[in-house]
Amino acid sequence: MTFQGWIIFAGFWVVFVTTPGPNAVNCISNGMSFGLRRGLWAVLAILTQATAFLILSAYGITALLLASPTAFFAAKLIGAAVLIFLGMRGWIMAATPPKLNPAAGSIYGRALAIATINAKSVAGYLAAFSQFVQPDVPIWDQMAVIMPTALGLTALSYTGYTALGAAFGKSAMAKVFNVSLRRGLALCFIVYGLLLGGSSMRSTA
């Protein structure tokens, strides 16, 4: 991965992990209820899920590359479309705060379940890997850059959400789920999808 490619990927991942969703709600709630220190168990759970999804995504992209360049190109277009869809959905839903269904279990177990069944996570990993992986570079060489970047930014984001909950309590929800902020982040998804999809089309022209 080139330095320019890394900057683009890091920018995308910042938008991906800071866009408020079920994980953010859970982290803020944990910060409010348990404080920052205990709330970090949820961050660890999110990182566990992220690590698993990153590895599975790498294997999936490897399979596509081995199957055919056409399949990989199709995955890139689908990934770009997913980003645009997530952005449009985020824009429409910006005025509706995400709801978190109460669940029994430990802080870690509950957070792991929430992260794993989060539709945005599944779609986002597909989109990220289809767009940013270079087919002419060994996948695990790229993962040596992608994984620390993704996991580091993920940890910073959700630790921040937990700290907000611990520091500001219920008012943290109002600060984070601001309609203008959420629509701005949704617009970033749309722009990323359009630019990356267009770049994929040009690269095959």
pLDDT per residue as tens digits for the range 34-91:
999 999 999 999 999 999 888 887 777 666 666 676 766 776 677 677 778 777 877 8
Q: How far apart are CA 149 and CA 170, in angstroms?
A: 31
pLDDT at 98: 62
Alpha-helical runs (H) found in the chain: 3-18, 22-67, 69-92, 107-116, 119-132, 139-168, 171-176, 179-204
Q: What pTM was computed for the model?
A: 0.77
Q: Confidence class of residue 139 from pLDDT cuts 50, 70 and 90?
A: confident
pLDDT tens-place string over residues 76-129: 677 677 778 777 877 887 777 666 555 556 899 989 988 887 766 766 676 666
* Higher local confidence (pLDDT), 36 or 2: 36
pLDDT at 4: 83
